[in-house]
A = this chain, B = another copy of it.
Amino acid sequence: MIDLQPSHTDTLPRMEPASPTPLERPDPSTLLVELFQNDDFDQVRLALVEHHPADVAHFLTILSPRDRLQAWQLLLPEQHGDVLVELPDAVRETLTDNMGAEELRASTEGLETDDVADLVGDLPDDVAQELLSNLADQDRARLENILSYPEDTAGGLMNPDLLTIRTGITLEVVLRYLRQRGSMPVASDHIAVVNRDNVFRGVLHISDLLTRPTDTLVSDVMDVDVIEILDSTPDREVAKLFVDRDLISAPVVDESNHLVGRITIDDVVDVMREDADESFLGMAGIQKDEDTFAPVIRTARRRNVWLGVNLVTAFGASWVIGQFDRALEELVALAILMPIVASMGGNAGNQTLAIIIRGIALEQINRHNARALLRKELQVGLLNGLIWASIVATLSFLWFGNPGLGVVIGAAMVINLMLAAAAGFLVPMTLRQFGIDPAIASTVLLTAITDAMGFLVFLALATVYLI
């Protein structure tokens, strides 16, 4: 299980001066796709061996699920594990669903323990159990330890395979130990220092190991002001810490300060990427982990959740309009203009919403500045409302020759843009209060409010002043 050297050989061609660099050549997975589309399976098989697991994973990701299974068969079994690790969850599932427990176990050979945990964590319980029971005792214990943490905590993210030293030795001894050991964990910018009870004491930076006199004691040069991460820390906070402090790796400790693992920047980068993906898709009403090339039925079903919610809110808006059927019958211009009020409100509200959701994610909003921020957004809504209302009022007057209509739509727009600003602030703040990720549900709720209120304000004002 424990393989501290990269378990694949990097097979990009050796660089000669003035030869094209990797990034000037076409995307390697594009070449694979072309061979595959031409049914050139022997060539694909050969080419797959030569490619980095990340490129193979990308190639599999952009195939349809049926082609993907076929291409998977062309890989050497030894490649399976490294490629599975690189795949997005949704795509990985399409492959592991078709693999037996023994095949899965074989694919985990040579992988780092945290990567195996990632993989096993996404399997159905019975398959995961079967896989675990086929492992050697020590490997199983390590794996079960990580799996006992929620996936989105430091404990679930960490690698338990550690290199540690004690305080009382010299750098000379550390150097000799490393040379005897013959390998180092990936992304090792420091070595953890523990006492005999495995209590974390500090770290020896590799830069100090390489630049300080060799007769220095570890205790004299070790860094005790280092950031250690508690195993229960949410992964988003871990990511924030890595970004803020420019960390490469960080020790993970349990409640009693025992060293239990380490987190490396590559895992943190994956967390950041998934997080950004989830927010981006969530704003558009799509659940995370959507496989771009998933079958029609599966995709349609996954997307129906938010379409259903949207339908309810759309009927709500229609119900509002229905309350003003008399006014609409008398003045058809109202029906023609009413979507403008709703649309401008939705647009302005979404701007506020995005800023507030980002502000929440970046922990910018606290009880000291929340009120000022709401006031600011209302003022922006008022100001832009006045600007665009005057334009819309003028255009509406010119179109329908009805000055009262211009005044009414202008007033409705100002009011709706301020309501939109309030909703853009309050919807995500309220969702957060209830522990719901604001990035997921806010857009549909906001649009429901700006639509319904836009129609209501405009038609109500029109009923009072024009009809």
Contacts and interface: CB of A to CB of B under 8 A. Distances in A.
Nearest to A267: B246
Given A52-B245, A256-B17, A286 B355 contact: yes
A70 interface: no
Interface stretch (A40-48, A116-124, A142-150, A291-299): A291-299
Contact of A307 (B188, B338, B384): B384
B336 A30 contact: no
A337 interface: yes
B280 A358 contact: yes
A307 to B, nearest CB: 6
A227 B292 CA distance: 29
Contact of A21 (B17, B230, B280): B230
Nearest to A381: B300
Given A211-B178, A248-B248, A292 B380 contact: no
A276 B239 CA distance: 14
A328 B330 CA distance: 10
Given A332-B325, A383-B297, A388 B318 contact: no
Given A179-B213, A188-B207, A248-B248, A62 B366 contact: yes
B266 A246 contact: yes
B290 A355 contact: yes
A283 B281 contact: no
B315 A179 contact: no
A370 to B, nearest CB: 11
B257 A351 contact: no
A338 to B, nearest CB: 8
Nearest to A171: B179
Interface stretch (A6-14, A98-106, A128-136): A6-14
A344 B211 contact: no
A284 B353 contact: yes
A196 interface: no
A114 interface: no
A322 B304 contact: no
Interface residues of A, number: 154
A392 interface: yes
Given A55-B244, A179-B213, A340-B311, A62 B369 contact: yes
Contacts of A444: 347
Contact of A257 (B18, B186, B272, B322): B18
B354 A286 contact: yes
A168 interface: no
Contacts of A318: 336-337, 339-340
Nearest to A310: B347
Given A23-B230, A224-B15, A293-B373, A211 B368 contact: no
Given A188-B207, A328-B332, A335-B335, A33 B248 contact: no
Nearest to A67: B369
Contacts of A167: none
A339 B343 CA distance: 11
Contacts of A373: 292-293
A296 B33 contact: no
A403 interface: no
A300 to B, nearest CB: 5
A339 B233 CA distance: 45
